[in-house]
Amino acid sequence: MLNRRSFLSQSALVGASLGWPGLVAAAPATVIGVPVPVSGAFAANGKFAVMGAALAAEEASAALGQPFKTLDLDTEGKPATGIRKIQDAVSQSGAKLFAGGVLSSEALAMGKEATKDGAVFFTTAGADEITGKDCNKGTFRWSVSTYGAIEQTVRPLLARLPKAKRWYTITPQYVFGEGLLSAAKNVFKDKGVEHVGNSYHSLSETEFSGYITNAIAANPDVLLLLNFGSQSSAALRQAISFGLKSRMTIVVAWASGLEQFQALGADLCDGVYFGAQYWHTVDAPGNLALVKAVKAKYNMAPNYSLAGSYIMTKLLAEAAAKAKTSDGPAVAKALEGLRYQGLTGEEEIRAADHQVIKDYYLLKGKAKSAMGDANDFADIVSRGKSFLSPEAAGCKMG
């Protein structure tokens, strides 16, 4: 990788060859678009994503010796809006690099549009299709897919709770939720677990009492929440208010990170299991550096939305510097097969489908009295990597 010292020495040589020692023309900033919902139901996730991208661009500008800047694009969580924002950023700002897409539906649409426009799109959305049957040369994914999330939550939990043979699910009815549900059903079948019922809900749902009542009637050993962000928080709050924590184990398959724990509070999180793409206590050099930088800049600990956006923006900037261009195909080539020290330890971008190979975590919420500091909401129970092969996922990189 380039660093600031090597860049400055190269700059001095260029200046000398022009007869102006140490003087070079200021280069225009490379624009990295951040298409995320900063309004609507998932605005909190978008807010932190914007912060993470801004930090990464600032660090890259200093370390790589060339300017990077972010362009915030409010998708409102809507695929059509996301497509339009990508188109406008390419045509009006010359952006060819994008890090965003919180919801799978918008990420799938934006990835296709970015690729069509000769750009690169990096996302944290979870639908298997993103690096599966809808994979393409311009789309990359940092997060573990819905398949891997279930494999690293339901399977290790069944190992811990071998008598938990009856499971009930609550699922958002769109591509992300369907992916989690399908993966969960496969594990249930494989492990001899009875799926005693499922309740679907829309992306606009805020009231979950009816679904909770259905779950109580089914008398499960485990309630598995397959929704995300504010919806999983609302469902969890209502489930606990109905007394379900004392009647069954509750699992949130895909937590939205530290901000979700902070909003819920330790009393609600205590004893609940959470699947997580990222946790701020991971002992990896890349994460320790991020924790320090976020503390200095924002006076907080990094959460998943911030961390995911940070690492994607960092990778895009470094790939552009390596390729010496922000042209999409060249940046994509620089990313393919890359191994690096990431936020979860060593991570790799698989060339065949552009999926980052990384750990997924199972957390268990701890009691307030057991917290070591204000952000110590959970312990890591297990971690691991579970990925379909590109062929099994249906990726045919055309």
Encode pLDDT of 135-183 as tens digits.
Answer: 999 999 999 999 999 999 999 999 999 999 999 999 999 999 999 999 9
Residue 396 belongs to some domain of the structure:
no
Residue 291 is given by DSSP the state H
Q: Would 397 be classed as within a structural domain?
A: no
Q: Are residues 365 and 270 in the same domain?
A: yes
Instruction: Give the model confidence (pLDDT) of 198-256 as tens digits.
Output: 999 998 999 999 999 999 999 999 999 999 989 999 999 999 999 999 999 999 999 98
Whether residues 111 and 196 share a domain: the answer is no
Q: What is residue 34's DSSP assignment?
A: E
Report the C-alpha gap between 112 and 120 in whole angstroms: 10
265 and 321 housed in the same domain: no
Taking the C-alpha atoms of residue 149 and residue 274, their distance in angstroms, rounded to an integer, is: 10
pLDDT surpasses 70 at 12: no
Whether residues 57 and 136 share a domain: the answer is yes
Residues 239 and 378 in one domain: yes
What is the per-residue pLDDT across 29-81, written as a single tens digit (0 to 9) for each?
Answer: 999 999 999 998 889 899 999 999 999 999 999 999 999 999 999 999 999 99
- Let me know if residue 237 belongs to a domain: yes
Query: pLDDT per residue over 176-208, tens digit each?
Result: 999 999 999 999 999 999 999 999 999 899 999
Rounded to whole angstroms, the Cα distance separating 36 from 103 reads 9
| 398 in a structural domain | no
Measured CA to CA, the distance from residue 335 to residue 326 in angstroms comes to 12
CATH of the domain at 107: 3.40.50.2300
| Contact residues for 169 (Cβ-Cβ < 8 A; gap 6+) | 181, 184, 195, 197, 198, 199, 223, 224, 225, 226
Q: By C-alpha distance, which of 347, 332, 398, 343 is closest to 121?
A: 332
Asked if the structure places residue 159 within a domain, the reply is yes
Q: Are 262 and 206 part of one and the same domain? A: yes
pLDDT, position 167: 98
Query: In this structure, is residue 270 part of a structural domain?
Result: yes
Domain limits for position 215: 148-278+360-391
**Position 76: which residue type?**
E
The total of other beta-carbon atoms located within 10 Å of residue 164's CB is 18
Provide the pLDDT confidence category of residue 270 given band limits of 50, 70 and 90: very high
- Same domain for 34 and 116, yes or no, is yes
Say if residues 125 and 101 touch (Cβ distance below 8 Å): yes
Do 99 and 8 share a structural domain? Answer: yes
Question: 132 and 33, same structural domain?
Answer: yes
Angle between helices 304-323 and 328-335 (to 10 degrees): 110
Helix axes 285-298, 304-323, angle to 10 degrees: 110
> Are residue 381 and residue 254 in the same domain, yes or no?
yes
Total structural domains within the chain: 2
- Indicate if 52 and 140 belong to the same structural domain: yes
Predicted TM-score (pTM) of the model is: 0.90
Cα-based angle 376, 377, 383 (whole degrees, multiple of 5): 95
233 shares a domain with 369:
yes
